[in-house]
Amino acid sequence: MGDRAAAEGNGWRLRLRAGARILGAGILVARDRALTSAHALDRTDGELTVDYVDYRGTVEPSRARPLPGCVKPCGTEPADGDVALLSLDPPRAGVRPAPLRRNLHYTGAKVRIGGFPARGDEGLWVRAEVDGPYGAWWQLTPENPAMVLEAGFSGAGVASAQLDQVSPEPPPEVLGMVVSRFYDDGQVPRFEKRHGHMIPLDRIAELLPEVDRLIGGPAPRDAALSAVVPARPGTTVDAGLAARLAGWAAGAGPPVLLVTAPEGSAHDLAFTAALGRVDIALDAAGSTAADLAYALGERLRLPEPYGSACTAWLRGSGPRPALRDSGRRLDLPVRAAVAGVDRSAEPAAALDVLAQLVALGVRPLIVLREPGGPVLRAAERRVECPALRTYARGLVRRVIALERGRPGPRVANGRNAALTAHDCARDPVEALRGLADRLHADIARLEGPS
């Protein structure tokens, strides 16, 4: 049975108890470490037991104690925390810790959750979908309306379940952990317990650095970019750029945002402050184009063979990948910041990689460190201009649809003519930016009160 648990990828699932009282679930993250929710430890004296239930008695339980400084209680404004790291004694041979995976795009993900609700001491598996963010947590909704993520699921691993089969191969990876303090107090009616919440591994890693070292794969954001370079005296965040960055991150406007931000400048302070809004952040300084393509490909975190296909596409050595698995479109991170492209080993080739990234539907923020210069003009011509052209074409189609059946003069024909003629302008990029602004004004007028 132990071999079966390991083969099915569920051997990391733990049952947490104090004596005979079941407190919830846990995740085996190393042979001597387990994760659980902090509120599952309420009203305990710290002496706990974890059972390796999926090994069906072939592995003896271990004693468990919270590690000093590794209990982070639940916060509600906004929702955050509720994690605890336990030390296991003795560590058991033959058990397999959970495969931990950083994820970047949770919405719509299909997941499996194994907990220990009342009258379910041996465990119950629930399939669910990730709905959207809730503070630092993410909302979960079981696929079966009769299922509830109630007490006993606290501390349970939220594992990927992209394929419709019981024992996917490779084994499911853990994306986060069930928290949902609000629904464990016995005061909420069952019909209102439809939703649960998970805290993602990235946030757990920020709260518990020891867990960060156990998560496989590269971090989505280069740590060096978060280290604020001392600003010149009197320098403050550029409010105009901060507003543009917020709009870009929210999905407003053209997909490519190109900015110049020398280290320590007001623009750099705005860029550093906006890093929390991006899914991927890389420093391209000193990198070759191949290095950049591989780094982006890794952080897109697609299952194989799609990951390799995306990397080949970014390098320009393969066809555009069809990002569908069993008929379901695979999610990509939508916001990627790449800084220091003008200081890369191959600036022109690096821009080609970013142009390929745009074609996949990712919104890149391109940060140059040197004001002016040939790389800025090349970035406008090779990355921003094609993206602006596609974006403006979509706005023209929207204006055409809004004007259909309306009396009065039509602006769509003139806007379409301007789009066709933008290459003849002295500055095609500026012409497209202006055209996009005028099209937005057209759409606002046409969608406004009649």
Q: How far is CA 302 from CA 41, 307, 321, 324, 325, in A?
A: 36, 5, 11, 11, 10
Task: Please name the residues in contact with 85: beta carbons below 8 A apart, sequence gap of 6 or more.
Answer: 29, 33, 34, 35, 66, 67, 70, 71, 208, 210, 211
The pLDDT score that the predictor gives to residue 233 is 75
Domains 2-212 and 223-371 share a fold: no
Instruction: Give residue 335's identity as a one-letter amino acid code.
Output: R
Q: How far is CA 448 from CA 239, 254, 329, 438, in A?
A: 29, 22, 34, 15
What average pLDDT does the chain have? 84
- Fold assignment, 223-371: Rossmann fold (3.40.50)
Confirm if 372 and 420 have CB atoms less than 8 A apart: no
- b (16+ CB within 10 A) / e for 291-306: bbbbbbbbbbbbeeeb
Q: How far is CA 420 from CA 358, 431, 435, 439, in A?
A: 21, 11, 11, 14
Q: Higher-confidence residue: 132 or 337? A: 337
Q: Rounded to 5, what percent of the chain is helix, strand, coil?
A: 35, 25, 40
d(CA 357, CA 321) in angstroms, rounded, equals 12
Q: Is the pLDDT of residue 177 over 60?
A: yes
The pLDDT score that the predictor gives to residue 2 is 41
Task: Please name the residues in contact with 171: beta carbons below 8 A apart, sequence gap of 6 or more.
Answer: 8, 9, 10, 99
Pairing of strands 335-339, 280-283: parallel
Class of domain 2-212 (CATH, top level): mainly beta
d(CA 174, CA 205) in angstroms, rounded, equals 13
d(CA 150, CA 62) in angstroms, rounded, equals 25
Q: Is the pLDDT of residue 93 over 50?
A: yes
Q: Is the pLDDT of residue 120 over 70?
A: no
Give the mean pLDDT of 380-403.
94
pLDDT band at 71 (very low <50, low <70, confident <90, very high): very high
Q: Domain locations in the chain? A: 2-212, 223-371, 385-450
- Give the single-character DSSP code of 378: H
The pLDDT score that the predictor gives to residue 307 is 81
pLDDT band at 230 (very low <50, low <70, confident <90, very high): low
Confirm if 25 and 15 have CB atoms less than 8 A apart: yes
How many residues does the structure list for the chain?
Answer: 450
Pairing of strands 257-260, 137-142: unpaired
Asked whether the whole model's pTM tops 0.75, one would answer: no
The pLDDT score that the predictor gives to residue 77 is 65
The pLDDT score that the predictor gives to residue 86 is 95
The pLDDT score that the predictor gives to residue 423 is 74
Of the candidates 430, 432, 428, the residue with the CA atom closest to the CA atom of residue 440: 432
